[in-house]
């Protein structure tokens, strides 16, 4: 299965809808945004801070600050681009305020400055990180293998639909034209593919409940 550095399929429309609903008072919409970007924000902060507890604290604080400032989010930029800046600022501010471990502080701050200028674009588009623990690497590897296995077990039409959507970033309309089927069929196939793959990885997520990867 392809696992190249293809840019993530744009989800700006769903983000815009979730932001709009949050501003209308729907807290559940904001929770969906939190769940969507939790991992990316944690990975980003993890490159700046070594303390795992502090990573979680800063990550949660990032979403708190984003919620407070959501009314000032302009839809002309992608939501994650905006969230990224908040995460970086929050991490820097926390590090400056705490200064718990001078060694950790200095190395983390230095790491943040270097990484931000040299690989910020890589982080924004691919979410790649470095410096992960062996446990984290193993966990992500297990999930990747489970996803690949599930994809191979899918019927051809479902595998094609989810590949065109997730990897090629095509819209439902474009996929319908490519596969010569109605848009409703595309929607159904993508959903069924996701459900089939989820059935394999959800037990892994349940096992990890409350634990750090």
Partner 1 sequence: MDASSDSQRHPSGEDAAVGVQLQQMSACLDGELSDAEFSDVLQCLDRQSGGSMRQSWTAYHLIGESLRGEIAGHRGLAPADFLAGVRGRLAEDAPVEVVPPSLPLPDVSQPLVRGRAANDAVFRWKMVAGLASVAAVMAVTWGVLGTGPSGVSGPVMAQRGGEVSPVVAVSATPAQESTTTVAVETPQGTIIRDARLQQLLADHRQNGMSALQMPAGFLRNATHDNARGR
Q: Smallest distance, Å, CB 167 to partner 1?
A: 6
| 122 lines the binding site for partner 1 (CB under 8 A) | no
The kind and range of the H/E element at 156 are: helix 156-166
Q: Is 188 exposed, middle or buried (0-12, 13-18, 19+ CB in 10 A)?
A: middle
Instruction: Give, as ranges, the residues between 4 and 43 that touch partner 1 (CB under 8 A).
Output: 4-6, 8-17, 21, 23, 26-29, 31-32, 34-36, 38-40, 42-43
How far out from the chain centre does Cα 78 lie?
13
Nearer to partner 1, 24 or 102 (CB): 24
Encoded one letter per residue, x for contact with partner 1 by CB under 8 A and - for no contact, window 139-178 reads xx--xx--x--xx-xxx--x---xx-xxx---xx------
| Cβ count near 19 (within 10 Å) | 20
Interaction between residue 96 and partner 1 (CB under 8 A): no
Asked whether position 48 contacts partner 1 by CB under 8 A, the answer is no
Does 179 help bind partner 1 (rule: CB under 8 A)? no
């Amino acid at each position: 299965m392809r696992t190249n550095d293809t840019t993530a399929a744009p989800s700006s429309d769903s983000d815009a809808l979730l932001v709009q609903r949050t501003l209308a008072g729907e807290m559940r919409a904001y929770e969906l945004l939190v769940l969507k970007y939790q991992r990316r924000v944690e990975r980003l902060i993890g490159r700046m801070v070594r303390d795992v507890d502090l990573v979680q604290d800063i990550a949660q604080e990032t979403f708190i600050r984003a919620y407070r400032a959501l009314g000032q989010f302009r839809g002309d930029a992608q939501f994650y681009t905006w969230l990224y800046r908040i995460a970086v600022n929050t991490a820097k501010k926390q590090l400056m305020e705490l200064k718990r471990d001078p060694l950790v502080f200095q190395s983390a701050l230095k790491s943040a400055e270097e990484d931000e200028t040299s690989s910020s674009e890589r982080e924004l588009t691919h979410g790649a990180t470095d410096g992960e623990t062996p446990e984290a690497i193993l966990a992500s590897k297990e999930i990747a293998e489970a996803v690949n296995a599930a994809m191979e077990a899918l019927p051809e039409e479902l595998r094609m639909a989810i590949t065109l959507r997730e990897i090629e970033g095509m819209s439902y309309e474009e996929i319908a034209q490519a596969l010569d089927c109605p848009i409703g069929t595309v929607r159904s196939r993508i959903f069924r593919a996701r459900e089939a793959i989820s059935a394999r990885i959800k037990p892994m997520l349940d096992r990890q409940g409350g634990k750090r990867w």
